[in-house]
Amino acid sequence: MAENQEPRIGVFICHCGTNIAGSLDVNAVMEYARSLPNVVVADEYQYMCSTPGQNKIIDAEKDYDLTGVVVAACSPRLHEPTFRTATAEGGLNKFRFEMANIRDQNSWVHMHDWEGATEKAKDQVRIAVAKARLLEDLQPKSVPVEHAAMVVGAGVGGMQAALDLANAGIKTYLVEKDPTIGGRMSQLDKTFPTLDCSQCILTPKMVDAGRHPNIILETYTEVENVEGYIGNFDITLRKKARGTRDGAEMVAAGLEGSGCNGCGDCASVCPVIKPNPFEMGMAPRKAIYIYHPQVMPLQYTIDFDACVKCGLCKDICGTEKNAIDLEMTDSLEKVKVGCVILATGYDLIPIEDKTEWGYRRYENVITGLEFERLICASGPTGGHLIRPSDGETPMKVGFVLCAGSRDNTGGVGKPYCSRFCCMYSLKHAHQIMEKIPGAVPYLFYMDIRSFGKMYEEFYYRIQNEGAKFIRGRVAAIEEDPITKNLYVQTEDTLLGRPVNVECNLVVLAAAIQPKPDAERIRQMFGVSKSQDGWYLEAHPKLNPCGTTTAGIFLAGVCQGPKDIPDTVAQAEGAASAASIPIHQGEVQLEPYFAQCVEDLCAGCGMCVPQCPYGALSLIQKDDRQVMTVTEAKCKGCGTCGGFCPGGAIRMQHFTSPQICAQIDSFLLNPLGGEE
């Protein structure tokens, strides 16, 4: 269409069932739209997003030779892509579309103010039309996508995502900060409700991940820096000094010797003993160590904070293997990937801060994860559940559910449900009844939430096996200083009577929270967080794996509490979502990037540090400096455009004339002014 053609705007009002039509007068808004300058057609429909609704747009574009389309409906987050597609089908550039959000921002908030909401809808439509008159054709930009992906965190979620990506033919970096992959799941003894041995079902996955030709396992490695954007992330990894080399690393370093084969001779001579974090500090490890027998990769790691560099390990390792290097330092590695999946997992809250439950104050109060290690056949006690104070077998074990979860108070209280504590406490109850004849578990609960497939049946089974259920949140735990037995104080709320149950051991089902370094990783990748610190998905229902940063996806508990099936399901979803742009080979970026009007640019460079995405730089052009935008990095936030002292930066799709027209149309018309 001709450049100087008078704008011809079509306006479409959506009823959204009663979401909009139930709170305001749609017909009045339509009539009003018809009176606006340059509006050549105004229509309404029950569901504009439906096929007949979209056909109205397509037909009107042809019948009325429109230059711009306005839909007054729900939210651009939900339906802007739908209406843009319809606009394009009608023959217009898809950026000739503008949305007025008369549902989320109007009918939903002014539900009981018919007149007020109708007037506001008129304002919103008028403002949208004002902008639509100035809309321009824009062309999306395509960028190539690197045929590689990265998964941060190699627990069960990270491993699953990496395996799926690798099986789809994508080179995948699996980055894990610990010396072994496996994550929390490898610390568990059994898994509910099937009572599979956790390690037994996890180890094959660990082996698969370790051997897959498309997976590059980066254990004992942290993400140091992230640059770039979807399709082209340049990520710097810090490979922490491990102190040993495997065969491949020996070859790469040009050293003689076969490298670490995991024989463990080094650990047997190491004189330094430290607590093993894998065993929740309940078992020792040496300064040169592996976490547990099933580690992947089977390679020893030196804890250089503890190592005294006596060299005994190096001597026994010998020149044939020559695996140990006591002078090893961290090294940095740069990799380029198209998409990233974050799967950074969780920690237990510092439950000792809830002093009334006595964790770390009373020896026989432990957490669920400590119980897992104590009941596990490969754990520090060989699977014999003992109580820490005297090594006796506990016959009465109290399980405190909602220990910090569903708790609105400040400090360590977490308002959310941690989702798997009910089920693992049921499992723990089963395990003690199975392993210790005559042992009685007492479960102190507020609700039992057994929401999954076969979970309620598991609850039934444990109840039938003789576990005692007391409905009441534990108020306090006190210790008998002589016997070290614990008195669990609560109200049996179904009886309406306070009870004080003497237990030999108490297991706190502590709430979970994001890992301490989750915040640093989140900021590096530009991912938002929810109020509780969990990573924020793009949409809680319709985009639970994506984030608001293109190319970054989420899997597992880093996004919110989840059990193993849900984690694995989300990991598969995230892998599928991440593989789409990689397989497409290129992605289209919305053309909202800033543009430098070089005639106006003074080359002052003040915009460059303002940009939060590092998209701006100064270049030499015809004897002077001007600013230039790396369009693929620009998110169109407008920080530079608002800041530029010379007005030389133009924000596409949000130009100053467009925004001024919106403001004018809001202010001038109701005040009787003229445009």
Partner 1 sequence: MAVEKNYGNPELESRLKDTNYYTSDSNKDFSDRVRELSGTISHMCFQCGTCTGSCPSAPRSSYRIRKFMRRAVLGLEDEALTDPDLWLCTTCYSCSDRCPRDILPTDVIMAMRNLAFERDIVPRNFLKTVQLIYNTGHGVPNNDVNRAAREKLGLPRDPPTTHSYPEYIEGIQKIIDHYHLKENADRILAEGE
C-alpha to C-alpha distance for 417 and 508, rounded to whole angstroms = 15
> How far apart are CB 396 and partner 1 at their closest, in Å?
18
Nearest residue (CB) to partner 1, 267 versus 412: 412
Closest contact distance (angstroms) between CB of 413 and partner 1 is: 6
The residue among 282 and 476 lying less far from partner 1, judged by its C-beta, is 476
- Dist CA 318 CA 266 (whole Å): 10
Binding status of residue 491 toward partner 1 by CB under 8 A: yes
In the region spanning residues 353 to 382, those forming contacts with partner 1, defined by CB under 8 A, are 356
What are the DSSP calls for 486-503, one per residue?
EEEEEEETTTTEEEEEEE
Buried b / exposed e over 650-670, threshold 16 CB at 10 Å, is bbbbbbeebeebbeebeeebe
Q: How far is the CB of 108 from partner 1 (least distance, A)?
A: 24
Residue 446 binds partner 1, judged by CB under 8 A: yes
Range in contact with partner 1 (rule: CB under 8 A) among 14-22, 100-108, 468-476, 549-557: 468-476
Closest contact distance (angstroms) between CB of 470 and partner 1 is 9
Number of residues that bind partner 1 (CB under 8 A): 22
Check residue 471 for interaction with partner 1 (CB under 8 A). Answer: yes
Separation of CA 126 from chain center = 39
Q: Which of 93, 463, 489, 549 binds partner 1 (CB under 8 A)?
A: 489
DSSP H or E stretch at residue 100: strand 97-101
The answer to whether the bond into 297 is cis (omega within 30° of 0) is yes
User: Of residues 199-258, which lie at the interface with partner 1 (CB under 8 A)?
Assistant: none
Least Å from the CB of residue 445 to partner 1: 9
Is 316 or 476 the residue whose CB approaches partner 1 more closely?
Answer: 476
Q: Would you count residue 476 as binding partner 1 (CB under 8 A)?
A: yes
Q: Specify the residue, 254 or 496, whose C-beta has the smaller distance to partner 1.
A: 496
Residues pairing with 251 in the sheet: none
Listed residue (537, 527, 525) closest to 574, CA to CA: 537
| Cβ(570)–Cβ(342) below 8 Å | no
CA-CA-CA-CA torsion sign (516, 555, 170, 180): positive
Asked if 532 touches partner 1 (CB under 8 A), the answer is no
Q: Which is nearer to partner 1, 260 or 474 (CB)?
A: 474
Closer residue to partner 1 in complex, CB, 409/617: 409
Three-state SS across 348-372? ECCHHHCHHHCECCECCEEEHHHHH
Per-residue contact track with partner 1, 391 to 420, x per CB under 8 A? Answer: -----------x---xxxx---x-------
Which of 147, 360, 473, 484 touches partner 1 by CB under 8 A? 473
Nearer CB in complex with partner 1: 372/407: 407
42 binds partner 1 (CB under 8 A): no
- Nearest approach, Cβ of residue 473 and partner 1 (Å): 4
- Element housing 619 (H / E): strand 616-621
Determine how β-strand 440-445 pairs with β-strand 396-403: parallel
Task: Tell me which stretch binds partner 1 (CB under 8 A): 167-175, 273-281, 367-375, 487-495.
Answer: 487-495
- Which of residues 490, 513, 567, 665 is near partner 1 by CB under 8 A? 490
Q: Does 548 bind partner 1 (CB under 8 A)?
A: no
500 or 588, CB closer to partner 1? 500
Window 337 to 356, contacts with partner 1 (CB under 8 A): 356
Q: Hey, what are 149's tokens?
A: 């992906």
Q: Least separation, in Å, of the C-beta of 452 and partner 1?
A: 23
Minimum distance of partner 1 from residue 409's CB (angstroms): 6
Torsion of CA 63, 66, 71, 72, to 10 degrees: -100
Question: How far is the CA of 91 from the CAs of 43, 67, 516, 523, in angstroms?
Answer: 19, 10, 52, 41
Per-residue buried b or exposed e for 157-194, using 16+ beta carbons within 10 Å of the residue's own CB:
bbbbbbbbbbebebbbbbbbbbbbbbbbbbbbbbbbbe
**Between 169 and 498, whose beta carbon lies closer to partner 1?**
498
Q: Which CB atom, from 496 or from 516, has the smaller least distance to partner 1? A: 496
Indicate the pairing of strand 273-275 with strand 301-302: unpaired
Residue 135 or 402 having the CB closest to partner 1: 402
Tell me whether residue 382 is exposed, middle or buried, using C-beta atoms within 10 angstroms of its C-beta: 0 to 12, 13 to 18, 19 or more.
exposed
Q: Which two tokens stand for residue 254?
A: 């040009």
Please count the other Cβ atoms lying within 10 Å of the Cβ belonging to residue 255: 13
Q: Does 500 bind partner 1 (CB under 8 A)?
A: yes
User: Does residue 513 touch partner 1 according to CB under 8 A?
Assistant: no
β-strands 468-471, 476-479: how paired?
Answer: unpaired
The region of 28-36, 154-162, 270-278, 483-491 touching partner 1 under the rule CB under 8 A is 483-491
Residue 493 touching partner 1 (CB under 8 A): yes
CB neighbours (10 Å) of residue 606?
14
Query: Which one of the spans 54-62, 147-155, 324-332, 485-493 is the region binding partner 1 (CB under 8 A)?
Result: 485-493
Q: Measured in whole angstroms, how far is the alpha carbon of residue 228 from the centre of its chain? A: 19
Quick one: which segment of 22-30, 280-288, 489-497, 651-659 binds partner 1 (CB under 8 A)? 489-497
Strand stretches in 219-345, DSSP E: 221-229, 232-239, 273-275, 284-286, 288-289, 301-302, 331-337, 339-342
Are 74 and 19 in contact by the 8 Å Cβ rule? The answer is yes
User: In the bound complex, what is the minimum distance in angstroms from residue 373's beta carbon to partner 1?
Assistant: 28
Q: Kindly state whether residue 498 participates in binding partner 1, applying the rule CB under 8 A.
A: yes
Chain residues that interact with partner 1, rule: CB under 8 A: 356, 402, 406-409, 413, 446, 471-476, 489-493, 496, 498, 500
